[in-house]
Chains A and B, each alone.
Chain A
Amino acid sequence: MNVLEARGLGKRYGRRWALKDLTLDVPGGRIVAFVGPNGAGKTTFLQLAMGFAAPTAGTVAAFGLSPRREAAAFLPRVGYAAQEPPLFKRFSVGELLTMGSRLNRRWDGPMAASRLRSLGIGLDLSVASLSGGMRAQLALVLALAKMPDLLLLDEPMASLDPLARHEFMGLLMAASAEQGLTVVLSSHIIGDLRATCDYLVILTRGQSQLVGDMDTIVATHQRLVGPVEMMDAIGHVQEIVQVERSDRQASLLVRMRGPLLDPRWESYPVDLDQIVLGYLSRGVSSSSSGDELATEVAG
Chain B
Amino acid sequence: MIWLTWRQQRFEAALAMVAVAVGAAVLFLTRQAMIADLNELGIPSCISGLGDSNTCSQAYQAFKDNFGSQQTLLGALTYLPVLVGVVLAASISVEMEQGTYRLAWAQSVTRGRWTFTRVGLPLLFGLAMTGLVAGVTSWWMQPANQVQGPLRPGSFDVQGFLPPAYMVLAFAITVAGGVLWRRTVPAVGLGIAAGAGIHLAVQTWLRPSFMAPISYLWTSGPAPYTSQDWVVQGGAGASSYVYQDPTGQQLSYEQVQSLCGQVVDAQSKDAWSACLQAHHLGELVRWQPPDRFWEFQVIESALVVGIACALLLLTVWWLRSRTV
Contacts and interface: CB of A to CB of B under 8 A. Distances in A.
A106 B103 contact: no
B302 interface: no
Interface residues of A, number: 33
A76 B106 CA distance: 9
Contact of A75 (B7, B103, B108): B108
B103 A86 contact: yes
Interface in B1-49: 1, 3-4, 7-8
A88 B321 CA distance: 23
A98 B3 contact: yes
A120 to B, nearest CB: 22
Contacts of A25: none
A71 B100 contact: no
A100 B3 CA distance: 11
B324 A103 contact: no
Contacts, number: 64
Contacts of B106: 50, 75, 78-81, 143
Interface in B94-113: 98-111
A75 B324 contact: no
Given A86-B103, A103-B4, A52 B109 contact: no
Contact of B324 (A52, A143, A146): A52
Nearest to B321: A54
Nearest to A99: B4
Contacts of B105: 50, 52
Nearest to B111: A71
Interface string A90-113: 110001001110111110000000
Contacts of A85: 103
Contacts of A87: 100, 103
Contacts of B99: 86
A52 B102 contact: yes
Interface string B41-61: 000000000000000000000
B1 to A, nearest CB: 7
B8 A103 contact: no
Contacts of A79: 106
Kindly name the residue among A54, A75, A78, A87 whose own CB sees the greatest number of chain B CB atoms within 10 A: A75
Nearest to A54: B321
B100 A103 contact: no
A55 to B, nearest CB: 12
A88 B100 contact: yes
Contacts of B111: 71
Contact of A82 (B3, B102, B108): B102
A146 B7 contact: no
A259 to B, nearest CB: 48
A274 interface: no
A146 B108 contact: yes
Contacts of B104: 99, 103
A76 B108 CA distance: 5
A56 B111 CA distance: 19
A87 B106 CA distance: 12
B321 A103 contact: no
Given A75-B109, A86-B99, A102 B324 contact: no
Interface in B101-130: 101-111
A89 B4 CA distance: 13
Contact of A146 (B101, B102, B107): B107
A86 B100 contact: yes
Contacts of A142: 103
B4 A102 contact: yes
B315 to A, nearest CB: 17
A53 B103 CA distance: 15
A53 B109 contact: no
Contacts of B100: 86-88
Interface in A129-159: 142-143, 146
A267 interface: no
A103 B110 contact: no
A88 B107 contact: no
A72 interface: yes
A47 interface: yes
A103 B106 CA distance: 10
15 contacts: A50-B106, A52-B102, A52-B105, A71-B110, A75-B110, A76-B108, A86-B100, A99-B4, A99-B7, A100-B107, A102-B3, A103-B1, A103-B4, A103-B104, A146-B107
For the complex of A and B, list the 3 residue pairs with the smallest distance between their C-beta atoms, beginning with the closest: A103-B107, A80-B106, A76-B108
Interface of B: 1, 3-4, 7-8, 98-111, 321, 323-324
Given A50-B106, A87-B100, A103-B108, 17 more contacts: A52-B105, A71-B110, A75-B106, A78-B106, A82-B102, A86-B98, A86-B102, A90-B8, A91-B7, A95-B7, A99-B4, A99-B7, A99-B107, A103-B104, A104-B107, A142-B103, A146-B107
